[in-house]
Amino acid sequence: MDFRERILTTMNHEEPDQVPVMSLLNEPAILNQYYGKQTFNYFNYLKKPILKDITKILMNWNWYWNKEYYKIYGDILNVSVNLGFDATWLMYLLFKLKKDKEGSLGYTWYDIWGRIWDLQVDKYGNPSPYYIRGHCRTEEAWDAWIEEHESLFNKNLEYTTKFFKKIVEVYGDKLYIIGFAAPGIFENSWQPIGFVEFTKYMYEKPRFIEKVVEFQTDFYLKYVEAICEAGNEIILVGDDLGHKKGLLISPKFINRFFGPSYKKVAEFVHKQDKKLIFHSCGKIYKILPKIIEWGFDGLLTLEPTAEMDLEKVRNLVGHQLVLIGNIDVSYLLVRGTKKEIEDAVKHAIKVAAPGGGFILSPAHNHSEVDLTRLQWMVEAAHKFGQYPIQT
């Protein structure tokens, strides 16, 4: 089987020739490891009086942003191919740079939804934007933001379509590209407002929250449609509902405010004859039945450090969901031994792969994931993931 047939067979809960392996790479740090390059921190230009204005102009120029965005993700895809992955996720995001005295460098990013991101770097010097607050903390501020940025929303849809079409055209014969529609409706709703204000409004101004969710749902359906136009058969919804110890809000409120939206997305994707995967970090056992009820075909992350036990999840959902992920990125793929990685891969395959419906992957991505350990994970999957699975 080739990678495409392997992925699609697995998504149908049938046994392919071997367990597919999915990359979640989207960090420049991995590129630097692979190509042996020094980290290039372009945020440093914002510290230089002569260069900071030029840097801002370039970063806010859509043509330049899209050119650099495509180049970085093209390089990341090449690394995923060379490491032997069958599939990867990929998203398109449009950020704008603005002066902001609360930012570490006197600047912050903002995205189309009204999230504010600080310009920070990790310990290796890789640029890493961090969400710090929402711009739309009141209903009036939210209404004004949506009205003022209508053109930016439309541009985002246009660029999303072009990005995915180009990526699939160039790389689609080398790797299965799963379109990642992120951020999702939940994150798009609360993060521009702020978690404290958002949860307060759920009680005090539920109609305002319903208005926000309705807008985000309508836009999200257009966003998913833009990704669908690239042609691949699998769409990934990204919405973190949990943290290490449980859900961010109660299952009742998740289902009340967001369940109908997820159902709309699932119905739309299925009408396109495509599959739909749900991505969420955190401990989300309490919402597993709803993920099935909403109409999702798969679940990604299964974060082991959030007590998401792969065997337990498989026993709970059976083959109603394709399971993806579960290889730890907090220790195992950062500084684990080869034997530890092989043992984790063997265990994941043993408990989740029989009968199909399992794609091995890291639980997530970050800049400290080690390239060599990723390679060990792929090699272990190829070694121990041959069907029929030896349990």
pLDDT in tens, 122-165: 777 777 788 999 999 999 999 999 999 999 999 999 999 999 99
Which residues are 327's β-sheet partners?
Answer: 362
Q: Which of 129, 127, 86, 123 shows the shortest CA–CA distance to 110?
A: 129
CA dist., res. 293 & res. 291, Å (int):
6
Q: What is the mean pLDDT of residues 104-127?
A: 87
CA dist., res. 289 & res. 55, Å (int):
48
Considering the domain boundaries, does residue 106 fall inside one? no
Q: What angle do CA 136, 90, 383 make, to 5 degrees?
A: 140
pLDDT in tens, 71-83: 989 999 999 999 9
Considering the domain boundaries, does residue 120 fall inside one? no
Q: What is the mean pLDDT of residues 23-34?
A: 84
Helices (H), the chain: 3-11, 28-35, 52-60, 62-83, 139-148, 150-171, 185-190, 195-204, 206-228, 251-271, 288-294, 310-317, 332-335, 338-352, 371-384
pLDDT(41) > 80? no
Considering the domain boundaries, does residue 187 fall inside one? yes
* Number of domains observed in the structure of the chain: 1
| Residue 7 exposure: Cα atoms within 13 Å on the Cβ side | 25
- How many angstroms from the chain centroid is the CA of residue 140? 30
> Residue 286 — pLDDT band, cuts 50, 70, 90?
very high
Instruction: Report residue 347 as tokens.
Output: 């265990």
Q: What is the mean pLDDT of residues 350-376?
A: 95
Provide the domain limits for residue 255: 3-39+52-97+137-384
> Residue 379 — pLDDT band, cuts 50, 70, 90?
very high
State the pLDDT at residue 115. 96
State the CATH number of the domain containing residue 323. 3.20.20.210
Q: What is the mean pLDDT of residues 355-377?
A: 94
Considering the domain boundaries, does residue 223 fall inside one? yes
Considering the domain boundaries, does residue 181 fall inside one? yes
pLDDT(40) > 80? no
pLDDT(26) > 90? no
Instruction: Give the count of beta carbons closer than 10 Å to the beta carbon of residue 55.
Output: 18
Kindly list the distances between the CA atom of residue 35 and the CA atoms of 79, 81, 151, in Å, as whole numbers in the listed order: 9, 14, 38
> Residue 391 — pLDDT band, cuts 50, 70, 90?
low
pLDDT in tens, 197-207: 999 999 999 99
> Residue 390 — pLDDT band, cuts 50, 70, 90?
confident
Mean pLDDT of the chain: 94
Cα torsion angle, 223, 248, 326, 78, sign:
positive
**Which amino acid is located at 386 in the chain?**
Q
Considering the domain boundaries, does residue 110 fall inside one? no
> Residue 46 — pLDDT band, cuts 50, 70, 90?
confident
Give buried/exposed letters for 117-149 (b at 16+ CB in 10 A, else e). Answer: bbbebbebbbbbbeebbbbbbebeebeebbeeb
> Residue 42 — pLDDT band, cuts 50, 70, 90?
confident
pLDDT(215) > 80? yes
Q: In this structure, are residues 348 and 324 in contact, taking their beta carbons and an 8 Å threshold?
A: no
Considering the domain boundaries, does residue 84 fall inside one? yes
Instruction: Report residue 9 as tokens.
Output: 């067979």
Q: What is the mean pLDDT of residues 177-184?
A: 95
- By mean pLDDT, which of 180-184, 191-195, 257-261, 364-368 is the weakest? 364-368
Cα torsion angle, 59, 66, 214, 236, sign:
negative
Q: In this structure, are residues 194 and 202 in contact, taking their beta carbons and an 8 Å threshold?
A: no
Considering the domain boundaries, does residue 253 fall inside one? yes
Put the strands of the sheet holding 322-327 in their side by side order: 22-23, 87-90, 176-181, 234-238, 275-280, 298-301, 322-327, 358-362
